[in-house]
Amino acid sequence: MAINNIYPQNEEVSIEVNNLWKIFGDNVEKVLDSDTQFAGKTDILEKTGCVLAIKDVSFQVHRGEIFVLMGLSGSGKSTLVRCILRLVEPTDGKIFINGENVCDCTARQLTELRRHTVSMVFQYFGLLPHRNILENVAYGLKIRGMAKSKREAKAREMIELVGLKGWESYLPSALSGGMQQRVGIARALSTDPKMLIMDEPFSGLDPLIRRQMQDELLDIQEKVHKTILFVTHDLHEALKLGNRIAIMKDGEIIQIGDPEEVITAPSDGYVREFVQDASPAKVLTAKRIMEQPNVLLYEWQGPKTAMHILESTELDNAFVLGRGSKFRGLVTVERLLEIIKGGGKSIMNALEPEPLRCTSDTIVEDLFPLVASTRHPIPVVDDDGKFLGEIHTSTILGSMIQDKETEPSD
């Protein structure tokens, strides 16, 4: 998949879940041993009185990615992530964290795992109401037995990272929901874990704050590069944050894929229903809809050559590139004429000031303000400034209509 190149991704597996089962009830073996395991959730409840929470789930989370587990409430996603740290004991199956089988861990190993390798962020924050923000953030380190001055220094650093400097001495109840969750994130990061498990961390927040927190999480992830397993019931959140998304229904994972796969090729009716109201503008990236221009100019070409090329193709503007396809800017026919009249020798003098640009992973929604502010096409460039393609207003509008119906073009 082309999309995998967009996110610098290591294929090293951080969390691996194999054939995991969780059944709540008294006759658990009965369900696993008999044929009833192939039955549905309601059948199992009727026949054995057991509640099937997770049914034969397998997936892998790669190092450094944000893996989103999405499903409606009751689909078993919260139980699933709790099984990974054995906050809930799995009934059957294997879980590996960095190759270590969590299910075989002794109590001591499990404690070490929770203290050093994986941290959790919770929907209802789980902050200690009787401790101030500083002590809350330092809690994971205190549990480890770290000295007070050392753990508080680390906690202050984390509080600053999540933008809560100045709130150290307040109790959690003095903070808004969004701020409390920042404390939760700071607390989780303070132990320097390799992985984060975030169980619907933003679901309890109002939409505006939620979006802000999502942006901040992405910013923080830029700095810390953790492996994140993120649980949500909100498709837009999944599409925004996830490098890959797994969709859960009735305790099973019914599709795993990157956001574009999920939205353009839903595996069954359930997923389709889920993504129906998702706007393609939130998923489609510039890379996906960009086109190659008919004409490109180069910085070493003279103004008269450029004028000739544009006239012969009946265009009134074109992008100018340097060596190695480096993007330089945009020239228009009017500016070229002015330069020629003035006797200028280089087309670089004719460049439009501060041309707009976007990167290949810019989502269509973020292109709207750009196309609105110019009548020229938008250039797509990579991180090194290399020109990749262009986007016209008409292309954007086309993508919005077309993608509702068709299969992915690649």
Eight-state DSSP code of residue 261: H
Taking the complex as a whole, the smallest distance from the CB of residue 399 to other proteins amounts, in Å, to: 42
User: Mask: binding to other proteins, 141-170, rule CB under 8 A, as x and -?
Assistant: -xxx--------------------------
Q: How far is the CB of 184 from other proteins (least distance, A)?
A: 8
Which region, judged by CB under 8 A, interacts with other proteins, from 23-31, 136-144, 266-274, 281-289?
136-144
Backbone angles phi, psi at 294, to 5 degrees: -70, -35
Q: How far is the CB of 203 from other proteins (least distance, A)?
A: 14
Gap between the Cα atoms of 233 and 121, Å rounded: 16
Helix, strand, or coil here: 36?
helix
Q: Tell me how far, at minimum, the Cβ of 231 lies from other proteins, in Å.
A: 14
Which of 66, 127, 289, 318 binds other proteins (CB under 8 A)? It is 127
The correct pick among 130, 150, 304, 308 for binding other proteins (CB under 8 A) is 130
Between 7 and 122, CB nearer to other proteins: 122
Does residue number 79 form part of the binding site for other proteins (CB under 8 A)?
A: no
Give the number of other CB atoms < 10 A from CB of residue 160.
13
Nearest to 64 by CA among 110, 115, 9: 9
Ordered strands of the 13-24 beta sheet: 51-62, 13-24, 92-97, 100-101
What distance in Å separates the CA atoms of residue 46 and residue 36, rounded to the nearest whole number? 11
Residue 126 makes contact with other proteins by CB under 8 A: yes
**Which residue lies nearer to other proteins by CB, 84 or 391?**
84
Q: Which residue, among 248, 201, 259, has the nearest Cα to 228 in the 3D structure?
A: 201
Can residue 129 be called a binding residue for other proteins (CB under 8 A)? yes
Interface with other proteins includes 319 (CB under 8 A)? no
The nearer residue to other proteins, 44 or 196, going by C-beta atoms, is 196
Q: CA separation (Å) from 275 to 247, 270, 281, 297, 332? A: 11, 9, 13, 41, 41
Any contact of residue 85 with other proteins (CB under 8 A)? yes
Q: Which is nearer to other proteins, 105 or 309 (CB)?
A: 105
Residue 202 contacts other proteins per CB under 8 A: no
* Residue 374: how many other CB atoms lie within 10 Å: 13
Quickly count: other Cβ atoms within 10 Å of residue 371's Cβ: 21
Contact partners, residue 285, CB within 8 Å, separation at least 6? 3, 6, 260, 360, 361, 362, 363, 364
Q: Is 122 in the site for other proteins (CB under 8 A)?
A: yes
Helix (H, G, I), strand (E, B) or coil at 242: coil
Size of the site for other proteins (CB under 8 A): 28
Q: Which of the stretches 135-143, 159-167, 265-273, 359-367 binds other proteins when contact is defined by CB under 8 A?
A: 135-143
Site string for other proteins, 102-121 (x = CB under 8 A): --------xxxxxxx--xx-
Binding other proteins (rule: CB under 8 A), the pick from 75, 79, 180, 191 is 191
Stretch that binds other proteins, among 49-57, 139-147, 210-218, 352-360 (CB under 8 A): 139-147
**Integer angstrom CA distances of residue 110 from 24, 47, 137, 186:** 22, 35, 21, 22
Vertex 281: Cα angle to 278 and 286 (nearest 5): 140
Positions that interact with other proteins (CB under 8 A): 85, 87, 110-116, 119-120, 122, 124-130, 139-140, 142-144, 171, 173, 187, 191
